[in-house]
A and B are shown apart, each in its own frame.
Chain A
């Protein structure tokens, strides 16, 4: 009976327009960027799919409140510079966010278009706009007149750069202090070139410098100057601490200090910041065997395993104690790693790293796991299966099981309250610590998290600092 009633024709669900990428077989031989970015045509076509919702949900999923609907509309009008300026109203680092943000669990997760289709590729569009503007000589944002206040920012990672950018726009005189010789924090030492080219980080930093932000590298706050000295002697009215979760965690298993066992931080710092992949042209070496195990299942583990492949390893294993579903890494990173040939040893936990008499790694004893009841993290707790141990044949091990807050600032700043595990305690609203005028954010507060959450924290603290200093009239 319903046969003569015309069926409503629904368009088939659409997918995100794919972004061109280097072929996996090729890219594992180089350190060039994997994803190549949209062309103008691809970007406009993707942007035109956006529904321009009256009450867009995407924006509420963004920790730095990018006006997503507006910038996408500007793309459809082919006003790419306008789109970039629109993003930069709230986000000083779009070329970085467009590449490394977990959009699938943030802006894109809330996209209405994503209910039936794949969500709009907001991340890819952001990246396109930022790259376009950078290549076409973008101008500076609107800057408030100088207000006479000086703010010191400790650490030039994502939280510090964001905080500095927002404060500079508001008229503050900002100095960033960086312990390393290059600015960018985890963006330069941690995230590999093939995922985030270092010249892009440098360009974003240069943009901040053009906005008047001063940058001092090779400067370890807590050692060369304390925070109290910055405030009492050097004339800073407020300090933002974004010193990150630098201290690598290790496993308490035999063999952890063998010669061929790296923390992911050391492994990635040697390769990314010190360019060990270009040894001996660059002096910093990296030693890697043919068979590599990376312990952990986060983005850092994916980065380390993909880096190991590019350094010439033939067998790279990710060893993770939970199942695939619980892998904390972004789906896209897992996908890229698999495409490149990384092997996943899931529900597997190392119990011993085996060395020969010279201290070289010759294997890793592991045990199979099964998932039990959920633990306090809400994930099902991995439980060892008795008598299931076996040895993986490896000669290099990289430990990527997270980082703890760097202790230098808290040890040298009297009265600064920290949590049990060493994170600096702050007022959630303002970012202010237990010490007046000292603010903090990013991994030093939360423990290791994402680039974008650190940026969100930097942004909140900038607002908190602005409120605090506005009451103090110079």
Chain B
């Protein structure tokens, strides 16, 4: 059992939890992920490591409540325990001094982008960050991202905060202006990553995306997370989760992410009936 030592509501649908898992905290790296099972009847699902504290022995997760499993997790409070917390899985982000690095975070993905961005900054890169969401209330990690960035942009789809538009609006402008960007790192909804990769494609800026495929085991055993990258089949859990965005077959990924839409709706409906939504 893994105790939740801190819980923070970041916005109406995104929550942060610090979970006591000393063995994992000791070794995990930015870019890796954890498999979680909240309780005995729960699903196993992946969440990327948002942060860790080796001294305190905690791992931070940030998640958006989108379906039953994340809502169930969201109902837990400080002092409660998570039944299974497995990791660290996947390959860590390859951090190096590339020059100018642009880190793009979309919605809840910004929480995952943050430790990666920080590591890029610490490695001596000039750090540009773009933090985007549908609307102002859904922007997270605003101060954290700003504090480590050399240049910091925010976008909202509805214009309630920062630039009215998408993360790709800003990224496209930067490229248009002829800014020399050596690496783009994007994490967020699959559709956002697809368009980030499209935006950088013409200029050939190396673009790394962190894929959020469906997983069951997370250790290379089930093949649910498979995706074609450069025409070759890869497993996001062991070969990734990060890949060259220009090589990823995003349409296939988007299709596979929708595999359980009907079942997810059934589970959510049932959950709402039983619990009246999350608290």
Q: B238 on the interface (CB 8 Å rule)?
A: yes
Complex: A256 Cα to B226 Cα, angstroms: 10
Residues of B within 8 A of A248 (CB): 221-223
Instruction: Provide the bound-state CA to CA distance between A260 and B258, in Å.
Output: 11
Contact status B44-A223, CB under 8 Å: no
Check: B85 CB closer than 8 A to any chain A CB.
yes
- With A258-B255, A408-B238 known as contacts, the answer to whether A285 contacts B263 (CB < 8 A) is yes
Report yes or no: B220 in contact with A266, Cβ–Cβ below 8 A. no
Separation in Å of the A167 CB from the closest CB of chain B?
Answer: 24
> By CB atoms of chain B within 10 A, which of A218, A256, A283 has the most?
A283
Q: Is the CB of B42 within 8 A of A263?
A: no
B102 interface residue per 8 A CB criterion: no
B23 (CB) vs chain A CBs: closest residue = A224
Does residue B246 face the partner (Cβ distance < 8 Å to A)?
A: no
The one of A217, A218, A225, A280 that contacts B266, using a Cβ cutoff of 8 Å: A280
Contacts of A285 in B (CB 8 A): 260, 263-264, 266-267
Cα-based distance from A246 to B237 in the complex (angstroms): 13
**A223 and B219 alpha carbons, distance in the complex (Å):** 10
Residue of B nearest to A259 (CB): B259
Task: Tell me if B49 is interfacial: C-beta within 8 Å of chain A.
Answer: no
Residues in A whose Cβ lies below 8 Å from that of B259 = 259-260, 287
B279 at the interface (CB under 8 A from A): no
Task: Classify the secondary structure of A's interface with B.
Answer: loop
A218 touching B226, Cβ below 8 Å? no
* Residue B37 at the chain A interface, CB threshold 8 Å: yes
User: Which chain B residues lie closer than 8 Å to A223 at the CB level?
Assistant: 27, 87-89
Q: Are A274 and B222 in contact (CB under 8 A)?
A: no
Residues in chain B near residue A407, CB distance under 8 A? 220, 238
Complex contacts, B223 vs chain A, CB 8 Å: 247-248, 250, 262-263, 265-266
CA distance A266 to B233 in the complex (A): 16
Is B270 an interface residue, CB under 8 A from the partner?
Answer: yes
Task: Report whether A284 and B23 are in contact in the complex, using a CB–CB cutoff of 8 Å.
Answer: no
Q: Is the CB of B267 within 8 A of A257?
A: no
Number of interface residues of B (CB under 8 A): 45
| Count of interface residues, chain A, beta-carbon cutoff 8 Å | 41
B227 contacts the other chain (Cβ, under 8 Å)?
yes
Let me know if A282 is at the binding interface, CB within 8 A: yes
**B88–A406 touching, CB < 8 Å:** no
Decide: A269 and B87 in contact? CB cutoff 8 A. Answer: no
With A246-B220, A259-B255 as contacts: A279 and B226 at CB distance below 8 Å: no
A201-219 contacts to B (CB < 8 Å): 217-219
A359 contacts partner chain B, Cβ-Cβ < 8 Å: yes
Q: What mask results when residues 199 to 221 of chain B are scored 1 for a CB within 8 Å of chain A, else 0? A: 00000000000000000110111
- Give bound CA distance, A284 to B270, whole Å: 14
- Determine how close the nearest CB of chain A comes to the CB of B254; give it in whole angstroms: 9
When A179-B86, A283-B42, A285-B264 are in contact, do A247 and B221 touch as well, CB less than 8 Å?
Answer: yes
> Which chain A residues lie closer than 8 Å to B136 at the CB level?
none
Q: Which residues of A247-295 are within 8 A (CB) of B?
A: 247-248, 250, 256-260, 262-263, 265-266, 269-270, 274-275, 279-285, 287
Interface positions of B from 53 to 98, Cβ below 8 Å from A: 68-69, 72, 83-89
User: Which of A257, A269, A408 is within 8 Å of B226, CB to CB?
Assistant: A257
Q: Does B84 lie within 8 Å of A406, measured CB to CB?
A: no
Query: Would you call B41 an interface residue if the criterion is a C-beta within 8 Å of the partner chain's C-beta atoms?
Result: yes
Residues of A within 8 A of B72 (CB): 283
Closest to B72 in A: A283
Q: A250-B226, A265-B221, A270-B216 are in contact. Are A181 and B84 (CB under 8 A)?
A: yes
Q: In the bound complex, what is the Cα–Cα distance between A259 and B227 (angstroms)? A: 11
B residues less than 8 Å from A225 (CB atoms):
23, 27
Extra contacts besides A218-B84, A269-B221, A283-B42 (4): CB < 8 Å? A179-B86, A256-B233, A283-B41, A283-B267
The 27 listed contacts between A and B (C-beta, < 8 Å) are: A179-B217, A189-B221, A220-B89, A220-B219, A223-B89, A225-B23, A246-B217, A248-B222, A250-B223, A250-B226, A256-B233, A257-B256, A262-B224, A263-B222, A266-B223, A269-B217, A279-B263, A279-B267, A280-B270, A283-B69, A283-B72, A284-B43, A285-B260, A285-B263, A359-B252, A359-B258, A408-B219
8 A-B pairs closest in CB distance: A285-B263, A359-B255, A246-B221, A266-B222, A263-B223, A283-B43, A248-B223, A181-B84
